[in-house]
A and B are shown apart, each in its own frame.
Chain A
């Protein structure tokens, strides 16, 4: 039979970006070990609503770790205690009866709070807008096998391309830097022949946009890699810096 637990929750409430915000507390009994963390929050909200209290807002969608919507900071850790999973894939079997759990939004100037645990991550969209693509119009592509790509290179590009855009890297970084997110897209595209033409413009435009959004700089803490739910390597940041330096020095 599955285990049931009592969990003491402390969660962030904030009514819009201009509210100062505060913590509220609630104790949930009968938390099943097989529940996901977000299902536990669903149960919390059901109880709150039946007690005529306001539910806590949090972002979620696919609940299978791929859409990148959920991004809670749990007891100070982005996506909680388990490595290599998004919070929707964190299960309560990772907790013990009587545990105290504090839930906060990712805190970064570039991620203003919308409500409670929901933040505005449109800064990520704008970084991609600045250059996170190959400029190829629909219909203008060459035959798919016309350009062979070494398997190792293609696999490496894939590893960077798996970023889910959740923002845990920003939440975990003492500087609230978006270098891992930005570097991952740059490294994905710059590893491939298709990305080669725009290599220099892409890295410069994306790095500039990242700075403009108010993200901090990278100081090699590597906290981002530690919390990344899909395991993007900080070598992405090295790739980004290398390409950036090349582009700036060569004046391209």
Chain B
């Protein structure tokens, strides 16, 4: 397998512009002869589908939800970064780039991150033009705030619903093209396989989730914008339907999967209350701008938090990280929460929570000011827990939130299968080992609006216009047969354990052993346990209903089957990476102060895994894409 990142030469600042000058264009007359499939309608997929259609390509858009507007990007709360420097506080394209590289603990590609930073400003312009109602100052200009670990205020936001507003912008742009007939729109369709002919992606197999029918679609290029794999943990902040199936099945057809062990755990989620829990709810980390994180200094202090005097509170982030305090990056905040809970200082019924306290902010700014900033988050918290955060500190605990790993892509966002592209959270490209707050929306929209529309043209320009193999080609037939066989197999097992039961058990293994902190012994155990449970799944799972009908549990069964395979690869990847980097903390590799200790000599590479087969155990070959740092100096991250 060839790993050419195709990064253009020259100075960092000029790479993207140079690339745009060099790449091929498709003439307006020819554009209508090409068809592009876009799977997923979140920020990356929605933006890409709309932009391709505006250019004149024929687009087919697929999503598993009943409407494109429901993709999980909608749930992003906090904001979107851009290097506008409106507050005049010293921000720049370089600084946003540098912060992102550093935040990712030097495990991402300089060139991709710099480009992301460059196009960030255009995203804001585009969104405002679409009517996205970002927060504004009284003078009528856009407002900014500081967010998760940034020392400048570069985050644009729409109250606590930034993802929703940006997604609706992309969705509306997409629906405009649906109306014009430039996009053929297929909601409630799940991609089950990618069809590869002569080494190129030529189409997909989908299941119509209403009729259960398998369908074949041919195209000149396929974009997967199908999100991340956080639901491998069962409990995460992802939407219930978020899954890895499209990416994983592409992986099994030859697309390398990069850095699967890089999983971000978000520090400010509402703690688990019981076994019936189906998902975790995140509260924007913008809360850390005004909330103070603490635990009681004494173990098993069961006093009401308001009765614990100041000197008996341990503000552990402020004490350990005086420069950044409560605004340390997500991985640092999550790890410290786990550490204090492991030390027995956790609060609440389960002891798996820390306080996030707004008392001082309310005293300083008044209840109204705090309510204006965080009102909807406070209401959400009260609704779920039955406790009023204006009167008693919130209880929070980390939860899996975002996956930095994903399909390996080159500078053009093309996977190792020519003609197959991956965008947004589905690719591995920009966040290294840890993503900064308010950067996911930026990356999704950057990929969709401002990268793919150019790079996919470069690929299409080299393809014969209008070339069709026909969907009765053997490759389509085989892919459909395989998808059908798996569905039949799942329905015929008729075992004794439910899908949810298997998924929850898998999730617990992954959380305990491939979660916030990992070690060699635990990872090896995880691999054994995953294999055993996967074996049992295929013999004892109970999948109800029929294949030719609406059947949500059947959909879930297929997704859980893929999570079982991915989980093993995550453990393999974490085991291989004998260093700590960003969110990947190997307990064997820490500084004396308990900080992540990188090994740049040996591990300054992207792990790209090539699928070789599954025979009781997953067989994968590791390829290494070395990361060259020409423009930044590698430093040990320190937020002290």
Contact = CB atoms under 8 A, between A and B. Distances in A.
Given A60-B240, A148-B141, A55 B159 contact: no
B614 interface: no
A161 B47 CA distance: 19
Interface string A1-42: 010000000000001100000000000000010111011101
Given A39-B277, A149-B136, A130 B179 contact: yes
Contacts of B65: 61, 67, 69
B175 A151 contact: no
Interface stretch (A43-51, A168-176, A218-226): A43-51
Interface stretch (B9-17, B68-76, B419-427): B68-76
Contacts of A161: 131, 133, 158, 165, 168
Contacts of B124: 144
B278 A36 contact: yes
Interface size class of chain A, counting residues whose CB lies under 8 Å from the partner chain: 35 or more
A138 B175 contact: no
A contacts with B: majority SS: loop
A144 B549 contact: no
A129 B178 contact: yes
A135 interface: yes
A129 B67 CA distance: 12
A154 B138 CA distance: 10
A63 B278 contact: yes
Contact of B550 (A65, A115, A130): A115
Contacts of B122: 139, 141
A151 B165 CA distance: 17
A10 to B, nearest CB: 21
Interface residues of B, number: 82
B142 A55 contact: no
B498 A120 contact: no
Contacts of B97: none
Contacts of A247: none
A35 B135 CA distance: 34
A91 B210 contact: no
A144 B158 CA distance: 14
Contact of B278 (A38, A125, A137): A38
Contacts of B544: 49, 54-55
Contacts of B450: 138-139
| Residue of A38, A114, A133, A151 with most chain B CB atoms under a 10 A cut-off | A133
B417 interface: no
A61 B240 contact: yes
Contacts of B274: 2, 32, 34-35
Nearest to B139: A148
A50 B498 contact: yes
A124 B172 CA distance: 12
A148 B140 contact: yes
B547 to A, nearest CB: 14
Interface stretch (B22-30, B217-225, B378-386): B378-386
A-B pairs, top 4 by smallest CB distance, nearest first, are A148-B140, A141-B129, A133-B172, A158-B133
Given A67-B74, A68-B70, A125-B185, 5 more contacts: A55-B552, A57-B552, A62-B239, A133-B175, A148-B136
